[in-house]
Structure formats: C-alpha cells, structure tokens
Amino acid sequence: MKQKKILVVDDEKDIVDLITYNLEQEKYTVVKAYDGESALDLVKTEKPDLIVLDLMLPGIRGFDVCKFIRKNPETEVLPVIMLTAKANHVDRIIGFELGADDYIAKPFNVKELIARIHAVLRRTELRPDSEKVESFTYKSLHINYRTYEVTVDKKKIDISPTELRLLRFLSNHPGRVYTRDQLLDHVWGDETFVEPRTVDAHISRLRAIIEKEKNKPRYILTVRGIGYKFTEIK
C-alpha cells in the first residue's frame, strides 16, 4: 500500500520536527513548510494526502491557505487539520466554515494529533462519491438515493424533500462537522429568507423520524457550539 503523504505547516521548527518524527514512526511520508506561501506551493507540487495547518503563519495566514485550497477544484476535498494556539469557539467555527476537517489547539498531545490524522484519513477513504453511490446503509437506516426512499428497521418512512436532501448530504460525509451556514449553503442553496435556525428545526424533525430516541441520537449528532455531523462510520 502506498504511504500516505502529510504536509506539516507551522512556523515553529520544533513543532514541525516533533510532528514529523511521530508521523514517520507511523510510516507516513512528511513534507514540511514554515509559511503559507510555501505550503500552497507544496500542495501543488507534492500533492499531499492531508495537511496539518497552523493558523498563525507569517505571510499568508493559515485561514487563507485553507480558503485557497477549498476554492481550487483540484484540492477542494484535500483533508485539513487546523493546528492553532487559538482555542475559542469563534476560531473553531471559522475554521470549520472554511472547510477544515478537524481542529486541535496548542499545546497539544502529539499522540492525539496522530489519532486525529488516522481518523480523518479513514473518513476520507470511506467517503462515498455522491454522484455514483445509489444507496446508503448504516445500522437500521437505509437510504435509496435513486428512488428517494428511506427505511428504518425495514419500514418505509415519509420524509420531506428538504429533510431528504439534508439526510443525504450528511450521510454522504460521515464524521464531518458542518455549521448551520454550511448546511444552508449545501442543502438549501439559493433559497431566500432561510434562517440558520431553520436547520435546527429540520434536524429535530429528522431525528424524530429516523431515531429510536430523539434525545439520544445515533445518526445525526450535535457538535456543541459548531453544528452537526452524521456519526463517524467505523
């Protein structure tokens, strides 16, 4: 199996060396960058499988590096784990809105970071191509994307078109956290007069339909202070 290549971006050499050493112990190939401009160049030339990206970089900031990556069709699905000294909810939300796959604050436990990298890469490998996959099954939930039928415990359930689009989007990206604004963009698109809290209402109705216990969801999980995700499939 081809070794996965990780791009580590941080302006602190000691941190880059620490992460590099531990990644190489896990048999990853590591590429290093110490500023945003070099990181973007290496994304093009080295084509990494994942980026560990510090936010507080000289020159082009980490937020902007992530933004450039997501705007480029060739790299828009490239996994990004943001690494930063800023741990408040606002920065985390901004990071996820820009498309970060995960977020870890300094000071960090390097073993936890490695575990997060393993998890994000595993999710990426499991991520289905939504244009090709015709159905989805997890536990007692089954979705037929071609016929737009949803069954729970083999019983067909009635679901609105909006809730079906919401369920399809989330199930197509298991383990990935989305903010309310991101879900509005992906599911509602250009519909006008839709408030972010509308997402909460639809999530609540969706849980009432597909979950055995609405207050103890197994499928659609709340990530406090950020948004929602479909549970990680292991």
3-state DSSP helix/strand/coil % of the chain, to nearest 5: 40, 20, 40
Q: What is the pLDDT of residues 53-94, one digit of tens each?
A: 998 899 999 989 998 898 887 887 789 999 887 656 666 777
Task: Please state the domain extents for the chain.
Answer: 5-126, 135-230
* pLDDT mean across residues, the chain: 86
Q: What is the pLDDT of residues 154-210, one digit of tens each?
A: 999 888 878 888 998 899 889 889 998 888 888 887 655 667 788 999 999 999 999
Dihedrals phi, psi of 178, to nearest 5 degrees: -125, 135
Across 5-14, 91-100, 135-144, least confident range: 91-100
Q: Which of 126, 49, 111, 113 is CA-nearest to residue 80? A: 49
Instruction: Please state which CATH class domain 135-230 belongs to.
Output: mainly alpha
**Which superfamily is assigned to 5-126 in CATH?**
Response regulator (3.40.50.2300)
